[in-house]
Chains A and B, each alone.
Chain A
Amino acid sequence: MPTDSELELEEDTQKGKYLTFSLGSEDYGLEIRFVTEIIKLQPITEIPEMPDYIKGIINLRGKIIPLMDVRLRFKKTEITYNDRTCVIVIDIDEVTIGLIVDSVSEVLSIPDEEIVLPPDLKKDSNRYISGIGKVGGDVKLLIDGMKLLSDDDALLVEKMGERG
């Protein structure tokens, strides 16, 4: 069991590091401390009555984890999966989930001063983005992991289901 100071140390080395991946033409970044591993897409078992962005469940070495298509979560168009399609397995608040993304790029250090808050365009549009990171000439959209998993959307789906 690591002591507090070890945990702090670990957090320190992971601070400011982001795993970047792409969805279509945009690049996204996800805090590295959430990421456990990156795997190839496996055969998915569909679960009935799930919102479209929950693709189903997979068997990750005996552990059963759900898969979320981040494209659909962000209300982008669906594409057929190909060789470059990856699953980023993340662990947030004891919830393990796999994120299906177009492709994984690299791990980048983005210092806090290079991150700006997203513009407040519409009230709802930036729900999943916690900041915008500037790396060289590129822009990475930094994802708020917690919000990605928060189930307000799901509740909505449920309500709609009840009505229908």
Chain B
Amino acid sequence: MTNPIDHESMLDMYLFETNQNLEQLEQLILASEKKNTFDRDDINDIFRIMHTIKGSSAMMNYQMISDLAHALEDVFFYFRENSTALIDYESVSDLMFDGIDFMKQEIEKIERKDPPDGEATELLGTIQFFLERLKIPNNEEVSSTLVPAYYSVNLRYQEGCEMENIRAFSVIHNLKEHCSSMIHLPEDLTSDPKAAEIIRQQGFTIHVQTDLSAKELEDLLQQTIYLDQLTIQPETDETTFNRFEDTKPTEVKTSNTSCDVIPQKSQEVNETHQIIAQTYISVNVEKLDKFMDLVGELVIAEAMVSNNPDIVGRDLQNFARASRQLQKITSELQDIAMSIRMVPLEATFKKMHRIVRDMSKKLAKKVDLQIIGETIEVDKNIIDHIADPLMHLVRNAIDHGLETQDERTKKGKTEPATITLEAKNEGSDVLILVRDNGRGLDKEKILQKARHNQLLHKPEEDYTEREIFNLILLPGFSTNEQVTEFSGRGVGMDVVSKNIESVGGAVVVDSVYEVGTTITLKMPLTLAIIDGMNIRVGRSIYTIPTTAIKESFRPSPKQIVNDPDGNEMVMVRGNCYAILRLHQLFKAKADATTFDQGIFLMVEYEGEVFCLFADELLGKQQIVVKSLPNYIKKIRSIHYLAGCTLLGDGSISLILNLAAISQKGGR
């Protein structure tokens, strides 16, 4: 801990694990709340998570978190021991959520390198009070139903865990409160120097008389750190127990060899735990990016070798065979590298459960959350970008979209208020829909508001229904008169649309009055790869996303129209489109300056159709998008370029940003 670097990596690990644990915990409690019961597995899981957080926080010296985890652990310990206890699920969930929120806050502080200085004393008090109240009516009942039983237990620690005697001592310490009597071997754990050695060789044997069932005892002992093997054997009666007192050494051997149903089961449990641990590893995103870069380079290098001018045109059978193999492996490797970045939407969607729960509670609206298509995978970058917007949308939908229960009844809406989160694939895009069955958008109100805020740019009657709905995405637009705790600060929808647009997506609003609203986020599947068409202008190569290209053509001179302002247009099938000369746009030298030399590309962006004029088409290619060097961006941000990419021969092409170009071209 004295070494700062070491501490740093431990801290990273701690933050990562604790965040994961808290998330899992939240899911567990939400699920339990829905079922309105905590089943045995849930309680065990929650208990285990609290235990882990308690331990690791104490180790990192975060006392408040550790104390809080300890208190919550106590609550669940009580549930575990008293399965018959009458649990007020709602208040338990509330308590847990309060606890989780506090811990999350603290963790955030630690992540920001601020001291975790939150005070949870009040919360701790509430938890304690809650636990006390639980205990009073139930205690007698519980103790009367259980008959003390005898067990012999043999514990073995993993090899090389050291200080076995101290570990054994802590086991005894934990057991003490549950056992009416207990004998253990070796007897003297603290002062006998041989104790550790004996435990290492023969295991640690305990004979106990306890109220706990064999299962409960097993669960309790499974918590032991560095546990390798656990054997629990019920003793039939008290006499055997007493007999062991005299013949301790022999018993050690017999209990070593005895194998029961219970230990086998515990082994199984251990194995499944291990499998889970091995299925996923967490990787630093930086390393992953580096890996992606290298794979990208490998693909280019492979193309450079296979298409090397020195060998082109020669009949080299063996070489061809070997290079085909190389090609196959590299393309497979590329596929895998790309898939590594893909993450299912599940986790992001599930986070919304919590928001729905909190909101529906505070606003007293009963809301169901439905999730569809959460298994769809999208690029990690995109997940990062949609988490916040999605939260905004869900909040908005509950706050503004859905009516209160009374209103719904008045309107005769029988179905429960529902928010639906849906993800689906559409071509190279993924659509994320946030749908509510609430009151829908009021066109009149929106127009009125837009008029008031001077957001209208053309005569009102020219606005289509969709255009009206999309007005709510403009900055400074909020239809709700009242500013509430959750939404309606006038920011929100515009932030959502800005965030989505920043990763090349789009937001579309659809609504039917009194039936509901659907907000669709249209996102590219991945930021990393797009299908691109390479075109040449002079010496430069540009790339356009293939999906945007409608057609390429070379018009006859008759089709070209010049207006008095010097704007060039082309007539295609009765429609008139603006022409944008790329070489003029980029002030570059082009080979083709008259329209009969080059080629026209008709492109569409967001309904805006226009024609680009370039020298020639070079072909289609899957490209890996890279951003321009920061230095270049700092000198001058070039709106017309979305980034750059490496071509098969190692040269660079520039990716056009159609969003920016369409604004120029569409006009």
Contact = CB atoms under 8 A, between A and B. Distances in A.
Interface stretch (A111-119, A135-143, A149-157): A149-157
B17 interface: no
A50 B632 CA distance: 8
Contact of A64 (B540, B635, B644): B644
A45 B293 CA distance: 19
A22 interface: no
Contact of A157 (B297, B541, B636, B641): B636
B651 A59 contact: yes
Contact of B626 (A51, A61, A64): A64
Interface residues of B, number: 32
Interface string A62-94: 111110000000000000000000000000000
Given A45-B540, A57-B632, A154-B636, A62 B294 contact: yes
Interface of A is mostly: mixed
A161 B635 CA distance: 12
Interface string B212-247: 000000000000000000000000000000000000
A59 B650 contact: yes
A46 B540 contact: yes
Interface in B618-667: 626, 628-632, 634-636, 638, 640-641, 644, 646, 650-654
Chain A, interface size: which category? 20 to 34
B587 interface: yes
Interface string A119-159: 00000000000000000000000000000010100100110
Contacts of A157: 635-636
A47 B539 CA distance: 11
A97 interface: yes
Interface string B477-489: 0000000000000
Given A48-B588, A66-B631, A61 B638 contact: no
The residue among A43, A46, A51, A58 with the most chain B CB atoms within 10 A of its own CB is A46
B586 interface: yes
A51 B635 contact: yes
Contacts of B629: 57, 64-66, 95-97
Contacts of A62: 293-294, 296-297, 300, 646
A64 B628 contact: yes
A49 interface: yes
B654 A49 contact: no
B654 A45 contact: yes
B539 A46 contact: yes
Contacts of A54: 632, 635
A1 interface: yes
A57 B650 CA distance: 12
A139 to B, nearest CB: 30
A97 B632 CA distance: 10
Contacts, number: 82
Given A62-B296, A149-B631, A50 B636 contact: yes
Contacts of A95: 629-631
Contacts of A63: 293
A135 B237 CA distance: 98
Contacts of B634: 151, 154
A116 B632 CA distance: 33
Nearest to B647: A59
Contacts of B630: 95
B5 interface: yes
A47 B542 CA distance: 11
Contacts of B646: 59, 62, 64
Contact of B654 (A47, A51, A161): A47
Given A45-B652, A50-B632, A50-B635, A57 B586 contact: no
A161 B631 CA distance: 18
Contacts of B638: 47-49
Interface string B537-576: 0011100000000000000000000000000000000000
B293 to A, nearest CB: 5
B399 to A, nearest CB: 42
A48 B640 CA distance: 10
Nearest to B653: A45
Interface string A15-59: 000000000000000000000000000010111111100100111
Given A45-B654, A48-B638, A66 B586 contact: no
Contacts of A96: 629, 631
Nearest to B294: A62
Nearest to A51: B635
A154 B635 contact: yes
Contacts of B587: 48-49
A50 B540 CA distance: 14
A64 B652 contact: yes
Interface string B293-313: 110110010000000000000
A47 B653 CA distance: 10
Nearest to B298: A62
Given A62-B646, A66-B629, 8 more contacts: A45-B654, A57-B652, A58-B652, A59-B650, A59-B651, A95-B630, A95-B631, A149-B631
Interface of A: 1, 3, 43, 45-51, 54, 57-59, 61-66, 95-97, 149, 151, 154, 157-158, 161
5 contacts: A51-B635, A54-B635, A62-B300, A62-B646, A158-B635
Q: List the 9 shortest-distance A-B pairs measured between CB atoms, nearest first.
A: A48-B586, A154-B635, A62-B297, A45-B652, A66-B629, A62-B293, A66-B632, A95-B631, A66-B631
